[in-house]
Chains A and B, each alone.
Chain A
Amino acid sequence: MSLADIIYSLFSGYDMLFELAFAIISLILSIFAFRIYKITSESKSKLFGVSFLFISISYFIQSLFNFLAYSRLNEPICLMANLTSVNLISYYGNYAHFLFMIVGLATLLYMTFDIKHLEVLTFLVILSITAFIMSTNIYYTFYLLSTIYLSFITWHFIKNYFRKKQKLVLLVALAFSFLLFGSIHFFLSVNHQFFYIIGQILELLAYILILINFYMVQKK
C-alpha cells in the first residue's frame, strides 16, 4: 500500500462532510444574494444567487450520494431500483452533481460578462449539457469544462482586485484561484487519488475564504 493510498483511506469519508459544508456555505451566499436583490433589484445579484443555489444543490447531491456509498445504504436502494450494480447509483449521483455544478458555473460565468443577453446564458447552459450527453467520459468532460469556466471567472475576480485593491476583493480572488487549482487537481485525480485529496483541500481553503469574506461584508 503506497503513502498516497494510506492518506486517501484516512481521508475517505471526510470528503462527504466537506461537501456538506460547501453546500451550506453556498446556500448561505445564495440566500444573501437574493436578499440583496430584493433591496437593490440589481439583476447581477439575482444571477449570483441563482448560480450559488445551483452550486449548493450540486454539493448537497454529492454529499448525499457519498453518504449512501459510505453507509452502504446504496445497496438496498440498488435492489429496490432494480439496478445491476451499486456503482450505477454513484454514477447517477455524480451525473446530477456535475450537471447542477456546471449550470451554476455557467450562470456565474455569464454574470461576470458585462452583457445583458439571456440568449448567451441559454447558449452556455445548452452547450454544457450537450457536452455531457455526448461525452464518453463525464468525469473528464466535467473537470475540463469547470476548469475552463473557473479560469474566466477567476480572471474576472483578479481584474476586480487590481481595480479596487481591497482586502475583501482579494479574499474572493484568492478563493476562486483555489477553486480553479482545485478543479485542475480534480481533473488529474480521475486516475490518481492523491490529487483528489489536494483538490478537496484547495476547495476547503476556497470556501473558508468565501466565508471570511461573507463575515467581513456583514460586519458594520
Chain B
Amino acid sequence: MNPKRDRLAIIHDMLQIISSRGNKMNPTQIMYKANLSHQMLGEYLNEIMSKGFVAEEIDKKGKKTYSLTEKGFGFLKDFEIIKKFFDSYGLN
C-alpha cells in the first residue's frame, strides 16, 4: 500500500476493502487492512458515513459492521476519473 496516500486514496482503499469481502466488515478489519491508526479510522469512518458511502449495522451483541451503499459503489466505479479531476485542480 502506498505510504503517502492522500485523503481521497484512503477513502478509496477503505471502500474497496469493505466491498471485497461480501460487502460487510467490522472496524478492526478495516483498520488493519487499510493501514490506519485507531484515530484515523474513527475520523474516516465518520466521513464516509456522513457522505453516505457506507452504512453502519449494529447486531444484538452491539458489534458494528459496515457495508457499501449504492453511492459508495458509484464512488469506486468512477474513482479514476474523480482522482484525475481532483489532482488536476488541487481539490484534495
Interface residues of A (CB under 8 A from B): 32-33, 36, 39-42, 44-45, 48, 111-112, 156-157, 159-160, 163-164, 166, 168-169, 171-172, 213, 216-218, 220
Q: Looking at the complex, which one of B52, B81, B88 makes contact with A172 (CB distance below 8 Å)?
A: B88
A-B contact pairs, 7 of them (CB 8 A): A36-B78, A39-B82, A40-B51, A44-B91, A45-B85, A48-B89, A171-B88
B88 engages A39 (CB within 8 Å): no
Please name 4 further chain A to chain B contacts, defined as beta carbons within 8 Å, in addition to the given A36-B78, A163-B90, A217-B85, sorted by A numbering.
A36-B85, A44-B91, A172-B88, A217-B81
The contact of B84 among A48, A160, A163, A216, by CB within 8 Å, is A216
CB distance from B91 to the nearest CB of A (A): 4
The answer, yes or no, to whether B44 is at the interface (CB within 8 Å) is: no
Asked if B84 and A156 sit within 8 Å, CB to CB, the answer is no
B90:A160 contact, CB within 8 angstroms: yes
Residues of A close to B50: CB separation below 8 A? 41
Residue A39 contacts which of B74, B87, B90 (CB distance < 8 angstroms)? B74
The answer to whether B90 and A112 touch across the interface, beta carbons within 8 angstroms, is yes
Contact A164 B87 (CB under 8 A): yes
Give A164's nearest chain B residue, CB to CB: B87
Q: Which residues on the B side are within 8 Å of A33 (C-beta)?
A: 85
Contact B91 A213, beta carbon cutoff 8 Å: no
Of chain B, the residue at the smallest CB distance from A41 is B51
Instruction: Determine the residue in chain B with the shortest Cβ distance to A42.
Output: B91
**A157-B51 contact, Cβ under 8 Å, with A32-B85, A36-B85:** no
